[in-house]
Amino acid sequence: MAQVLIRQLDDHVVSALRARARARGLSLEQSLRDLLTDAVRTDGSLRDELARLRATTPAAGRSLDVAALIREDRDGR
């Protein structure tokens, strides 16, 4: 597995991250590992979800005549 070294972090950032890890019952290292892993997963999952939603949206979605659609629905009843 790879290792990453991050230099020149402000002390208050490290303290806040350490407190966050402690509150979750984790070591700082495990908490940071989870945080970085989740950041990668979320990024890819969000992209996939947005692509799926885009595929279900009609290309002309922004220029739809809403009034005409309502009228058409009413006439069909």
Domain count, the chain: 1
Domain membership flag for residue 21: yes
Q: What phi, psi does 10 have (nearest 5°)?
A: -65, 145
Residue 27, domain extent: 11-75
Domain membership flag for residue 6: no
How far apart, in whole angstroms, are the C-alpha atoms of residue 6 and residue 32?
A: 11
How far apart, in whole angstroms, are the C-alpha atoms of residue 45 and residue 37?
A: 12
Query: pTM here?
Result: 0.54
Interior/surface letters 37-63, b for 16+ CB within 10 angstroms, e for the rest: eeeeeeeeeeeeeeeeeeeeeeeeeee
Give the pLDDT confidence of 2-58 residue by residue, as tens digits: 999 999 999 999 999 999 999 999 999 999 999 998 888 766 677 788 888 888 876
Q: Which residue has the tokens 């009843």?
A: 77
